[in-house]
Amino acid sequence: MSAADSHKPQREWPDDDVDPGAVLRQLRIERKMTLADVSRLTGLPVSTLSKVETGKMPLNYSKLLRLSQSLDLDITRLFAAGAPARALSPARGAEPTSGRRSVTRANHGPSIRTATYDYIYPAADLLRKALNPMVLDVQVRSIEAFGELMRHPGEEYAMVLEGQCDFHCDLYAPVAMEKGDSIYFDGMMGHAYVATGDAPCRILCVCSAGNETLRPLLKPIEAI
């Protein structure tokens, strides 16, 4: 570590890192499915699913959403080992739930680390959400290092909570963003957040995730 790095602020990180791969394996066994069965449903290669289940490959938001939608599973279930893997489809004629709420304390919530972002998922106790909130700590510092741009069904709103970043997408020139700036965009447009400056960059993202409306929009994810 360089002298400059030693003076950078250290981010407090939740101590409840989760392993969606272990939950996926539990779900697959409960449903008596093979990796090939899951591959056919999700469009993810068997080799990728095997690496996910054994903890050798992390899952970003788009892949988590792909799994949850294809398996008819609330995305929150992928954060809860031992939780019953209930399908999403509500009982016919059921009334919408009212009075919904979820409290997430500062620097708490299921977390997943990837090469590009470290994810914290607030409101993980709330099922059947119309929105998926996430807090991203942006790790990547060049668009070349980011790799393929992310895409996911629905729309996304993002606000920079700390630091600075460049927002890249495949239809517009990059735009610089700093604390307090926000953006709203189509999630199917390829996009990426790239940290800039010396300070850590943290972003609040909210993605729409209505299960029935998203399902027809899903597209296969390219093999890794």
What is the per-residue pLDDT across 163-196, written as a single tens digit (0 to 9) for each?
A: 999 999 999 999 999 999 999 999 999 999 999 9
Q: What is the pLDDT of residue 106?
A: 87
For residues 5, 6, 11, 15, the Cα torsion angle rounded to the nearest 10 degrees is 120
Which CATH number among 3.30.70.2860, 2.60.120.10, 3.40.50.1360, 3.30.470.20 corresponds to the domain 111-217?
A: 2.60.120.10
How large a percentage of the chain has pLDDT more than 90? 34
Look at the block and give the residue holding tokens 């954060």: 79
Query: Is pLDDT at 135 greater than 70 in this prediction?
Result: yes
Q: Determine how many CB atoms are found less than 10 A away from the CB of residue 39.
A: 17
Secondary structure E strands in the chain:
111-113, 117-120, 131-138, 155-162, 164-169, 175-178, 182-186, 191-196, 201-208
The span from the CA of 47 to the CA of 200, in Å, is 34
Residue 217 pLDDT class (50, 70, 90 cuts): very low
Using CB atoms within 10 Å of the CB of residue 144, give its burial: 0 to 12 exposed, 13 to 18 middle, 19+ buried: exposed
Q: Where in the chain is the domain with CATH 1.10.260.40?
A: 20-79
Residue 94 pLDDT class (50, 70, 90 cuts): very low
Q: Where in the chain is the domain with CATH 2.60.120.10?
A: 111-217
Residue 84 pLDDT class (50, 70, 90 cuts): very low
Task: At 189, give phi and psi (nearest 5°).
Answer: -75, 125
Contact 98, 123 (CB under 8 A): no
Q: What is the pLDDT of residue 134?
A: 92
Q: What is the pLDDT of residue 86?
A: 45
> Does domain 20-79 sit in CATH 2.60.40.420?
no
